[in-house]
Every structure is written in structure tokens, then in C-alpha cells.
Structure 1
Amino acid sequence: MARQRATALLVDLDGVLRRWDEAVVAGVESRYGLPAGALVETALQWGRLQPVLVGQVSHADWMAQVAEALAGPAGGLDRARDAVAEWQGYRGEVDPDVLALVREVRAAGLPVGLATNATDALDADLVTLGLTGEVDHVFNSWELGVHKPAKEYFQQACLALGTPPERVLLVDDDDRAVRGARAAGLSAYRWNGVADLPYLRAVLDY
């Protein structure tokens, strides 16, 4: 039996709706004498990252921990803090093609949710990116207390969307999130880039 077309959309932020220019990060690392990839790798170390994704610590505290971890390679704590601050001043860029899809889906009357593992800095980021009001719901792991790919995350999202899981489509660039969504009963598509947009339009019911 063919699966029904989706009547609600969940779109990931980082890697889908928001793009990051790796050259910006590389430039900061170069200026501060940090090894290539050090900023992101240090920030994403799971023991450091997980607490901020579920609201146990603030974004500011997380970045303070990153600076402390980098203090040696950066040449001192003050210099490491400056490097982190400069890095954090860059908030990425909106993918205009994905935003166009979001607007198209909403204009057709289907609800759209932003499904992101984020921090308490998310609201400010949405303002900076001009995304305030562009989706019907924002599902921030920091506020929910649970992060993708947990089943509970997707259950809460579907409930808020007022849509049964089997009619919700998640678009995400993380394989774990895609698998988690499918395990929770949703349709889920692994985002590879704008070439995927025709397929997504075909599986959404509008």
C-alpha cells in the first residue's frame, strides 16, 4: 500500500534552511593560530554539546567551555575567548530556495515546523536571519528538553502540528535524525541539496 502524501512539513535548520560558510570559520582559526576544524570539533564534543541541547546550560556557558578548552592552542584564555566571540558573530545564511519551499507549503495551507537541535540563542538567530514568522512552529530541543533523534521529540512536534506522524515529512541533513523520525512513524528525507526540491514538492500534499 502506497504511503499517503504528507500534509505537514518539518524542516531542519542547520544544513537545510541555514547554510554555513566554512571559509568564515577557517579564517577565524587562521587568525588565532588554531588548528583547522578546532572550533567546531571542540564545540561539538558530545559531553560538551549534549547539555546545551536539552536546556541544562546556556549558550553562553557552552561557549565559555569551548574557550576554556581552546585556551592552550589559542595561546591563552583571553585570546581563546576572542576567537570564540568572533566565530559566534557569524550566524550563517538562509538558503533562499529552501525558504521559498517553506513559503510555498505554508501558502498552500500546510503547517510548517522548524525542527532543530538548538540552544537558547535560537530566537536571536531567527531574528538575525530574518526568519521570524516564516514557520508556524519552532521546535527547539533546548526548550523541549529532548533532542533529535529521540522519539519523544518527534511526538511532541506532531502533536503541536495537529498532524498524525504518518502525514508529517521531516527534511534533515543528519542520518540519525532521519532514522529517528522514521522510527517515530514520520516520513523523513535525507537532505542533499536543492536538487531534492522537486521530489519534496511531489511528496507533499498540495
Structure 2
Amino acid sequence: MTALDRAAGLPEGTLAAAAFRTDLHDAAVTGAISDDQWRAQVAEDLTRTCGSAGRARDLVESWSALTGRIDPDVLTLLAGLRSRVPVVLVSNATTRLEDDLAALDLSDAFDAGVNTARLGLAKPAPRVFEAAARRVGADLCRCLVIDDTLGHVAAARAAGLSGHHYQHVGQLRNITAPLLG
């Protein structure tokens, strides 16, 4: 997002501040508004800062074209894990998640998925983790949550799951090694 701010001649953090404003982002990741509505509101909020509605829409369109990048080492590790245990993607995402997964050829990379926009609540709510466990018929106490947000890991642990704060693939290999035998 920083590169997009720079390209638009805006101060660093401008787009992120508009997109991830707590009330707006929460509405998007809990499904209260659609991804399209979220992005339209971000563009509207940026109109004055960008100098015109057209420039704001162009900035949001450039941001919307980004679907993320995949770490091939993590993907390989997940494939190995799936041969031994169910793997569930749990994401505080918008209604666009399924399209993004398809664009990245990840639709079949997990045994199940929980998109919080479809669930109506977001992590760190314990019911999100409960929904993930139910999708694969697992007991909470037998589930391992790996998340890059420490607060989500703490919430998972408080709900009775094991948790690991993801920082890099080496740690992920170490924490999952017992599962791979």
C-alpha cells in the first residue's frame, strides 16, 4: 500500500488509514457490508485527500488489483500437513476472499475455510475458532491455530485451542514437525 500511496503522491499510510479505519474494516470483515461497498466507501473517504473522486477511485482500483503473494515454502508445508491432519483457512476477510483464493489457485489448498464475512463475526471471537473446528469435525483441544496476529493466538488459547504466533516459515516448520512425524 505504501507504493500505491507514493505513486498517488500521498503521504505514506494514507490508503491504509482509510481502508483499515476500525469501524469500516470491521463492517467489511464481518459481512455487514460487501467488499464492493467497502472499497467504494474507501474511495469516497479518499476523494478530498486525492483531489478528485476519479483519482480516489483509480487509487482504490490499483489497490483492488492486488491479490497478495504466496510463500511457496508455506504452501509446500501446508500440503504436507494436509496429508496428516485437516488444515482450515480462517481469515478475517471480506466477501472477496473466495475470488482471491481462486485467482491465486488456492481454492483447493485447504480442507475447509472460514471467511469471517460469511460467518458474521471476526477473530478474535472464540466462535470463529469453534466454526473452524466444526468444519472438520475436530475437538477444540486438538486444534492448533497459527496466526500472524498475537491477539488472535491469545484468543484461541483462551478458547481452549493450542496457538502459535506465525512470524516466518522456519518457526512454522518447527511447530508443525510433531504433526508430520
For 1:40, the equivalent position in structure 2 comes to 16
Paired with 2:23 and 2:82, the residues of 1 have a C-alpha distance of 37
Deviation of the 1:197 alpha carbon: 2.6
Q: How many pairs does the alignment contain?
A: 181
Superposition map of 1:14-29 within 5 A:
25-29=1-5
For 1:74, the equivalent position in structure 2 comes to 50
Q: Deviations over 1:121-176 (max 9, x none)?
A: 01110011110111010100011111100011111111122111111111100011
Which ranges in structure 1 are unaligned for 5 or more consecutive residues?
Answer: 1-24
Deviates more, 1:190-199 or 1:138-147: 190-199
For 2:70, the equivalent position in structure 1 comes to 94
Superposition map of 1:126-165 within 5 A:
126-165=101-140
For 1:5, the equivalent position in structure 2 comes to none
Paired with 1:184 and 1:147, the residues of 2 have a C-alpha distance of 14
Is 2:81–2:180's contact at 8 Å kept on the other side of the alignment? no
* Residue type at the aligned position of 2:149: D
For normalisation by structure 2, the TM-score amounts to: 0.95
Paired with 1:67 and 1:198, the residues of 2 have a C-alpha distance of 40
Paired with 1:184 and 1:203, the residues of 2 have a C-alpha distance of 22
**What SS is found at the alignment partner of 1:181?**
helix
Paired with 1:197 and 1:128, the residues of 2 have a C-alpha distance of 25
Which ranges in structure 2 are unaligned for 5 or more consecutive residues?
Answer: none
Deviation of the 1:30 alpha carbon: 1.7
* Residue type at the aligned position of 2:135: A
Overall identity of the aligned pairs, in %: 37
Q: Deviations over 1:41-83 (max 9, x none)?
A: 2111111111111111000110111111111111111110111
For 1:7, the equivalent position in structure 2 comes to none
Identify the structure with the greater helix proportion: 2
CA RMSD after TM alignment? 1.2
**What SS is found at the alignment partner of 1:50?**
helix
Deviation of the 1:201 alpha carbon: 2.3
Paired with 1:26 and 1:153, the residues of 2 have a C-alpha distance of 31
Q: Deviations over 1:63-118 (max 9, x none)?
A: 1111111111111111101111011111111111111111001123x111001000
Is 1:33–1:73's contact at 8 Å kept on the other side of the alignment? no
Paired with 1:158 and 1:201, the residues of 2 have a C-alpha distance of 18
* Residue type at the aligned position of 2:42: V
**What SS is found at the alignment partner of 2:5?**
helix
Is 1:58–1:120's contact at 8 Å kept on the other side of the alignment? yes
Deviation of the 1:205 alpha carbon: 5.9
Is 2:77–2:173's contact at 8 Å kept on the other side of the alignment? no
For 2:7, the equivalent position in structure 1 comes to 31
For 2:93, the equivalent position in structure 1 comes to 118
